[in-house]
């Protein structure tokens, strides 16, 4: 059989100074980054508007910025501060943008409501459409209801058959979303294979479509708008839940092992979460709800390695009472080394697959898990075990001191 880790005898505990040094270095680096640059908080936590937009041809970004700046509200005030807008091209695609607007304080109860930003984006992008087509209804950026109502208003078939127009609108949008990924190329491409349409009807319809509709340049794939109130609420909850999960783990491990095992494990996991957040800050990767979900998953998963090692330590302690603690722990780690590396490696494989192929939305999630699993394995070996040893040593010293004191007083008494 192939065995990668046969009978290793690495002195892990002896190297603990190196481990601690590395951890401290990573934490300091992360800490400095957080202090200087902070986190790149997603709309979930910072509030604001985020839109995924797909284009036939992406307009120059500064044009988009300018068009956004020109959007005004009912009182003529500029809606969007253009410096605070982030426009990002989604990697791997040539034609998708992520447009992000910051939240406007108090915007929930304002005139426009929290979706003022979204409407501003759509209005701005519409101005960048083909100018010869202004005034026509854009099939690519309107919803079914709008298209249907426009058809009813135009009534090209003269029969005021609203359910028929509804079915036509449904077919158009279906074609757009399911067959063309959201962007119709030309109005004439639209299929009109709807029940109840004769050939002459179709002709009239086509004419009406050509004259009154256009296939615009952009399609909004998804929008996330989070009001400021929700944002700060979620921030607090994220912190509470993570702390609660850590406490929950502590209790569970204290219950299954001894409480010092629990403390060691929790410190190790806490360290993992901190370093992962630090790296996110250094890379300025966006922290969204799914990233927090990944971190919480990490809390549970990172315990696994630690538990496996602790399990082995406990088993060996029972079998080899007399051996030195450090030797036992080292042996335990070495014995479980192949298992630790293998499982982390295999989980890592699936997470790497997710990172490379899973798409934009899950990208942050996958990255958090990627970093977390690597750091997690390392911390079970380098952090959790030394803490436990340190404590046990401390305990032994205490017991020895007590014994010495008892003997001394006995001697005195005698």
Partner 1 sequence: MLFTPGSFVLPPVSKMRKELRRRVIIILAITAIGIYLVFFPHDRRPRLRDLTSWSQIKANIAENIKLGLDLKGGSHLVLWVQTDDAIRTITDNNVLEAEKILKKEGIPFKSVKATGLGQITVEVSDGSRNPDIEEKLRDDFGPGWERTRSDGGAVVFTMKESEMNDIRRTATNQAKTIIENRVNAFGVAEPTIQLHGREQDHQILLQLPGIDDPERVKRTLNAESRLELKEVFGDPHPTKEAAEAARAGDPNKMVIPLKERADAETGQPASTSYIVVAKTPVVSGIDLRGADAVPSQYGGHEYKINFQLKPNGAAKFEQFTSANIGKRLAIVLNDEAKSAPTIQAAISDRGEITGAFTKESAEDLALVLRSGALPAKVVYLEERTVGPSLGADSIRQGVIASIVGLVLVVLCMLIYYRGAGVNATLALIVNLVLLLAGLAMLGAVLTLPGIAGVILTIGMAVDSNVLIFERIREEIRNGKVIVSAVDTGFKRAFLTIIDTHVTTIVSAAFLFVFGTGPIRGFAVTLAIGLIANLFASVYVSRTIFNFILTRSGQRVESLSI
Q: Compute how many other C-beta atoms are within 10 angstroms of the C-beta atom of residue 35.
A: 9
CB atoms within 10 A of CB 384: 26
Q: Is 213 in the site for partner 1 (CB under 8 A)?
A: no
Touching partner 1, residues 300-319 (CB under 8 A): 300-301, 303-304, 307-308, 311, 315
What the block records as the tokens of 349 is 């494989």
> At 393, which helix (H) or strand (E)?
helix 385-413
Using the rule CB under 8 A, give the single segment among 14-22, 78-86, 294-302, 397-405 that binds partner 1: 294-302
Interface with partner 1 includes 299 (CB under 8 A)?
Answer: yes
Nearest distance from residue 162's CB to partner 1, in Å? 8
Closest Cα partner for 105 from 70, 76, 88, 81?
A: 81
- For the segment 350-369, give every residue that binds partner 1 (CB under 8 A): 350-351, 353-354, 356-359, 361-362, 365-366, 369
Indicate the pairing of strand 48-55 with strand 218-226: antiparallel
Least spacing, CB of residue 127 vs partner 1, in Å: 19
Give the count of alpha carbons within 13 A of 126, CB side only. Answer: 18
Q: b/e for 199-219, b at 16 or more Cβ within 10 A?
A: eebeeebeebbeebbbbbbbb
**Does residue 226 bind partner 1 (CB under 8 A)?**
yes
Asked if residue 9 binds partner 1 (CB under 8 A), the reply is no
Shortest reach from residue 232's CB to partner 1, in Å:
12
334 touches partner 1 by CB under 8 A = no
Please count the residues of this chain forming the interface with partner 1, following the rule CB under 8 A: 86
Can you tell me which of 46, 101, 205, 225 binds partner 1, judged by CB under 8 A? 225
**What is the DSSP annotation of 68-116?**
HHT-B-TTS-B---GGG-EEEEPTT-SSEEEEEE---TTTTSSSS-TTH
Q: Does 237 bind partner 1 (CB under 8 A)?
A: yes
The distance of closest approach from Cβ of residue 187 to partner 1 in the complex, given in angstroms and rounded to an integer, is 18
Measured between alpha carbons, how far is 322 from 82 in angstroms, rounded to an integer?
Answer: 71
The verdict on 196 binding partner 1 (CB under 8 A) reads no
* Rounded CA separation 372/128 (Å): 43
Binding map of partner 1 across residues 119-158, x = CB under 8 A, - = no contact: -----------------------xxxxx--x--xx-----
The site string for partner 1 over 170-189 (x = CB under 8 A, - otherwise) reads ------xxx-xxx-------
């Amino acid at each position: 059989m192939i065995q990668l880790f046969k009978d290793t005898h690495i002195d892990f505990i002896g190297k603990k100074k190196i481990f601690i040094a590395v951890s401290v270095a990573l934490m300091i680096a992360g800490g400095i980054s957080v202090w200087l640059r902070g986190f790149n908080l997603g709309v979930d936590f910072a509030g604001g508007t985020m839109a995924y937009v797909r284009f036939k041809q992406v307009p120059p970004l500064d044009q988009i910025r300018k068009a956004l700046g020109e959007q005004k509200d009912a009182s003529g005030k500029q809606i969007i501060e253009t410096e605070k807008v982030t426009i990002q091209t989604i990697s791997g695609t040539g034609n998708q943008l992520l447009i992000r607007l910051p939240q406007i304080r108090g915007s929930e109860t304002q005139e426009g409501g929290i979706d003022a930003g979204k409407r501003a984006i759509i209005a701005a992008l519409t101005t960048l459409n083909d100018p010869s087509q202004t005034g026509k209804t854009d099939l690519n950026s309107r919803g079914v209801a709008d298209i249907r109502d426009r058809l009813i208003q135009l009534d090209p078939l003269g029969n005021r058959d609203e359910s028929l127009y509804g079915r036509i609108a449904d077919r158009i949008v279906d074609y757009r979303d399911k067959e063309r990924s959201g962007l119709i190329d030309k109005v004439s491409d639209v299929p009109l294979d709807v029940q109840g349409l004769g050939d002459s009807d179709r002709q009239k319809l086509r004419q009406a479509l050509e004259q009154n509709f256009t296939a615009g340049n952009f399609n909004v794939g998804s929008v996330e708008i989070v009001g400021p109130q929700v944002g700060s609420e979620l921030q607090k909850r994220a912190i509470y839940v993570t702390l609660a999960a850590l406490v929950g783990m502590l209790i569970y491990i204290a219950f299954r092992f001894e409480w010092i095992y629990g403390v060691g494990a929790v410190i190790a996991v806490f360290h993992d979460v901190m370093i992962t957040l630090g790296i996110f800050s250094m890379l300025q990767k966006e922290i969204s709800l799914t990233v927090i979900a990944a971190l919480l998953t990490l809390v549970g998963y990172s315990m696994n390695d630690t538990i496996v090692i602790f399990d082995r330590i406990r088993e060996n302690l029972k079998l080899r009472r007399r051996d030195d603690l450090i030797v036992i722990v080292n042996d335990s780690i070495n014995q479980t080394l192949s298992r630790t590396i293998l499982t982390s490696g295999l989980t890592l494989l699936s997470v790497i697959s997710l990172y490379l192929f899973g798409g934009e939305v899950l990208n942050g999630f996958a990255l958090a898990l990627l970093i977390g699993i690597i750091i997690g394995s390392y911390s079970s070996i380098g952090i959790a075990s030394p803490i436990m040893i340190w404590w046990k040593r401390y305990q032994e010293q205490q017991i020895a001191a007590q014994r010495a004191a008892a003997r001394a007083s006995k001697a005195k008494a005698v």
